[in-house]
């Protein structure tokens, strides 16, 4: 199961960006370096993204501890428990999602659909806007402002802000969940 998840990490990193790049290459003549915004690899936007993702992840985690969410099944918690992931795996998966998904959604889809619609699609595709489970959709409502800000950050600070924020958010939550699984096994 762990190898399957790591394989999907590689798919996200290497395959997700391809359609976005090819579309922009053929219709806008955007080079690969323009697509990955090499010119925007700067310390301040990356630092702001890391800080924002870290803080928002901690806030989301604290909100998820509320009794309201006790009855909401968290598929990712169950998957992490079954896979016996290590923190290095969580960091790797966070990096894959941060880069692959942001290249697809921000550098690709958002360029054509705009930041609001792309953000809603992003959250919906992760399954967090579920009309059949309103409690689970509440997590989507909590995550949506984060994605809105990442989308706006892409416009104002560039792709690497969005990648850094997404990576930090996922890395913090993966680390917390992996550590909670270790604690559960010990107790």
pLDDT at 65: 86
Across the chain, what does the average pLDDT equal?
90
Tens of pLDDT, residue by residue over 79-129, are 677 778 899 999 999 999 999 999 999 999 999 999 999 999 999 998 888
Chain centroid, CA 111 distance in Å? 18
> Is residue 149 predicted with pLDDT exceeding 90?
yes
> Is residue 37 predicted with pLDDT exceeding 60?
yes
Residue range 54-83: average pLDDT?
Answer: 79
Q: Is the pTM of this model over 0.95?
A: no
Between residues 84 and 61, the one the model is more confident about: 61
> Is residue 187 predicted with pLDDT exceeding 70?
no
Domain map (residue ranges) of the chain: 2-186
Q: Which residues contact 170 (CB under 8 A, 6 or more apart)?
A: 53, 57, 90, 93, 94, 97, 98
Q: pLDDT > 90: what percent of the chain? A: 70
Residue 56 CA to residue 46 CA, distance in Å, equals 15
Residue 14 CA to residue 133 CA, distance in Å, equals 32
CB atoms within 10 A of CB 127: 13
pLDDT at 73: 57
pLDDT at 67: 83
* Residue 84 backbone class (left: φ over 0; alpha: ψ -120 to 50; beta: rest): left
Residue range 132-141: average pLDDT?
Answer: 82
Give CA separation, 110 vs 46, 49, 79, 114, 176, in Å: 20, 18, 30, 5, 30
Q: Quick check: 184 and 148 in contact, CB under 8 A?
A: no
Between residues 130 and 49, the one the model is more confident about: 49
Residue 45 CA to residue 101 CA, distance in Å, equals 18
CB atoms within 10 A of CB 50: 18
Nearest to 103 by CA among 11, 169, 37, 28: 37
């Amino acid at each position: 199961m762990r190898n399957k998840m790591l394989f999907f990490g590689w798919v996200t990193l290497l395959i997700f960006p391809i359609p976005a790049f090819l579309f922009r290459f053929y219709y806008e003549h955007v080079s690969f370096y323009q697509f990955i915004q090499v010119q925007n690899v700067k310390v301040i936007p990356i630092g702001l993204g890391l800080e924002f993702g870290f803080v928002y992840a901690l806030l989301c985690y604290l909100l998820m501890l509320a009794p309201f969410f006790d009855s909401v099944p968290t598929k990712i918690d169950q998957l992490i428990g079954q896979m016996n992931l290590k923190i290095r795996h969580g960091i790797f998966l966070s990096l894959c999602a941060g880069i692959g998904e942001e290249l697809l959604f921000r550098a690709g889809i958002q360029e054509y659909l705009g930041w609001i619609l792309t953000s809603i699609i992003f959250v919906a595709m992760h399954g967090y806007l579920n009309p059949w489970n309103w409690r689970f959709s509440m997590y989507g409502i909590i995550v949506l402002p984060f994605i809105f800000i990442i989308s706006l950050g892409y416009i104002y600070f560039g792709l690497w802000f969005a990648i850094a924020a997404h990576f930090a958010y996922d890395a913090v939550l993966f680390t917390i969940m992996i550590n909670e699984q270790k604690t559960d096994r010990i107790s």
